[in-house]
Amino acid sequence: MGTLKMPENFLWGSASAAYQIEGAYDEDGKGLSNWDEFVRIPGKTFKETTGDVAVDHYHRYQEDIALMAEMGLKTYRFSISWPRIFPAGKGEVNQAGVDFYEKVIDECLKYGIEPMVTLYHWDLPLALQEEYGGWESPRIIDDFVRYATFLFNHFKDKVTYWITLNEQNIFTNQGWVTATHPPGKFNDEKTFYQVNHHAFLAHAKTVLAFKNIIPEGKIGASFAYGPSYALDCDPINAMAKVDYDNLRNFWWLDMYGYGRYPKNAYRYLEKKGVAPEISEEESTILEEAAKKIDFMGVNYYQTSVVEYNPINGVTPFGEVNTTGKKGSEQVTGEPGVYKNPKNPYLKTTDWDWTIDPMGLRYACKEITSRYQLPIIISENGLGAFDTKTEDNKIHDDYRIAYLKAHIYELMKAVDEGCDVWGYCTWSFTDLLSWLNGYQKRYGFVYVDRDEIGGSLDRFKKDSFYWYQEVIRTSGESIEE
C-alpha cells in the first residue's frame, strides 16, 4: 500500500467535449458549428474524419453515464455545445438542446456524479463566425455572456462546477497562427492577440455574471499548461525560458489569475506591433474577474524544453504528427527568442507528446506559488493505439502506467501543499481526436469505431477496472 491518499471529497473524474463525443451534428434543431464546416475542408483532419456521428453519445448518454457510475466516478466534465442551445449563437433558444443537457445532468446526479460543465470547448456557432468573424470581433463578448448566463440561470440548482473556456491558448494558436483549427488563418499574430483579448473579456464578464447568479458555485478556465525547463544553465537559455513562459504560459495564466498581461511579454509584442489594445475599463473588468475565480483549471499533457533560438532559427510552423508515426514532429519556436527542442530524458507517445509525470507536480507547485489558487486538473491522459482482442478485452497496461505515474505525482503535489480539488482523465470513452481521427484513443471505455465507422459498441478496457480501484481507495492503491 502506498502512503499517499487523496481526501475523501476529492473529485476523481473524467472529461469529454461535445464535438468529440456527441455526433447528431444536425439533429433536434442544433445549429452548425465552425467545426462542422472546417472538417469538410479536404486535408484538414486525419483521413477527413468528422464528428458528425462521433461516438454517438447523444443517443447513448445513458449507457455511458451508467458505465461512469459503475466505475465510481465522482465527477464528469463535459462541454455544452453552444449551437445546440442557440443555433444562431444568440436569439432563440433550442429547447431540445437544453433538454438534452438537462437529461445528461440529471443522469449524472441520479448516480451521485458531480457534473462539471465546460461552456466552450471550441465549437462556435457558425452563424457568429459568418456574421462578424466569431472571436475576431468584440461583439462575441456579450453574445458569449448571454449564452453563459442562460445556462447559469437554467442549471443553477444542479451544477456547481463551471469552466468558461477550454484551452484558449490552443484554439487561438491553431485558429490564427498555424491554421489547423477554424477559422484556419495562418500566421496572423496581430489578430491572434486581439482574439485572445476578446476571449479574456468574455471569460471575465462571464465570471462576474456567474457570481451574481450562483454565488456559491465554482468557476475557472481550463488552460493547456505545459511547464518549461531551460535546456541548461547557460544564461541565454535561462533567459529564453523566462521569455517563453511569459509569452506561452503566463500570457494566459496571469490574465486568469491576476487580470493583467505579463509586462515583458506585452512590451515585446508592442515592439513587434502585435500587442492587443486594452482600455482602462477593460483592465478593471479583467482584474475584478481575476479576484473572483475559484480555481485554476489545468489540462496537463506535457512539458517543454526551452533553448535560445537565433533570429534566423525555427519558426512557429513545423510538421505536426497527426498520424501516430513516431518522430515526425518538428521543432518550432519564436525566431530571436526561444525554441523547444526534444527532452532527451523523457520518452514520448506515438504522437510525439513528451511523457513527464513529474511535470504535473511542477505545474501544480508553480500555480500554487504564483497564484495561491486551488487547482482542478481538468484533463490528463494518454493517446495511444489500442487493440481489442478476440474475446473483447483491451489490455492497455501502457495507459495504466501513464495514469498511475501522473496520479502519484499529483498526490505528492497535494502532500507538498497544493490545494487540488479534482483530477479528470482525458477521456472516459474513446472519442474523436480533433486532428488525429479515431485511432488515437484516450478512453477507459473502448468504442468500436474507426475512421470509417463501426458498431459503436462499448467495451471496458483494463484501465477501467484499474481506475475504479484507484477511486475506491482514494488513490491508496497506487504505489510508487
Shorter beta-carbon distance to ligand BG6: residue 266 or 434:
434
Q: What is the number of alpha carbons within 13 Å of residue 434 lying toward its C-beta?
A: 18
Which of 210, 442 has the CB closer to ligand BG6?
442
Angstrom distance (rounded) from CA 440 to CA 10 = 29
CB of 20 to ligand BG6, least distance (A): 6
Q: Are 364 and 410 in contact (CB under 8 A)?
A: yes
Long-range CB contact pairs, 109-113, < 8 A, 24+: 109/158, 111/65, 111/66, 111/68, 111/69, 112/69, 113/65, 113/68, 113/69, 113/73, 113/74, 113/75, 113/76
Which is closer to ligand BG6, CB of 282 or CB of 379?
379
Residue 162 beta carbon to ligand BG6: minimum distance, rounded to whole angstroms = 16
Can you name the residues that pair with 230 across neighbouring β-strands? 306
Kindly list the residues in this chain that would bind ligand BG6 in the complex (CB under 6 A): 17, 20, 166-167, 170, 224, 299, 379, 383, 426, 433-436, 440
CA angle 403, 178, 46 (to 5 degrees): 60
CB of 77 to ligand BG6, least distance (A): 10
Q: How far is the CB of 353 from ligand BG6 (least distance, A)?
A: 8
**Which residues are CB-neighbours of 377 under 8 A, at least 6 positions away?**
298, 299, 300, 360, 410, 420, 422, 423, 424
Q: State the nearest-atom distance from the C-beta of 68 to ligand BG6, in Å.
A: 18
- Cell, residue 97: 438542446
**What are 350's three cell numbers?**
506515438
- Cβ nearer to ligand BG6, comparing 36 with 282: 36
Nearer to ligand BG6, 83 or 259 (CB): 83
Q: Is the dihedral of CA 435, 436, 441, 446 positive or negative?
A: positive
CB of 448 to ligand BG6, least distance (A): 19
Instruction: Tell me the residue nearest to ligand BG6 as measured from the CB.
Output: 433
Report the C-alpha gap between 183 and 293 in whole angstroms.
29
Asked whether 229 and 303 are in contact (CB, 8 A), the reply is yes
Catalytic residues: 167, 379
Neighbours of 292 (CB within 10 A): 14
| Identity of the residue, 291 or 326, whose beta carbon is nearer to ligand BG6 in the bound complex | 326
User: Do residues 366 and 227 make contact, with C-beta atoms less than 8 angstroms apart?
Assistant: yes
Q: Minimum distance between the CB of residue 266 and ligand BG6, rounded to whole angstroms?
A: 26
Give least dist CB 167 to ligand BG6, A: 5
Of 78 and 421, CB closest to ligand BG6? 78
In angstroms, the CA 235 to CA 239 distance is 6
Please list the helix, strand and coil fractions of the chain in percent, rounded to the nearest 5, in that order.
40, 15, 45
Q: At which residue does the C-alpha cell 500587442 appear? A: 275
Ordered DSSP codes for 69-124? HHHT-SEEEEE--HHHHSTTSSSS--HHHHHHHHHHHHHHHHTTPEEEEEEESS--
User: In terms of CB distance, is 308 or 426 closer to ligand BG6?
Assistant: 426
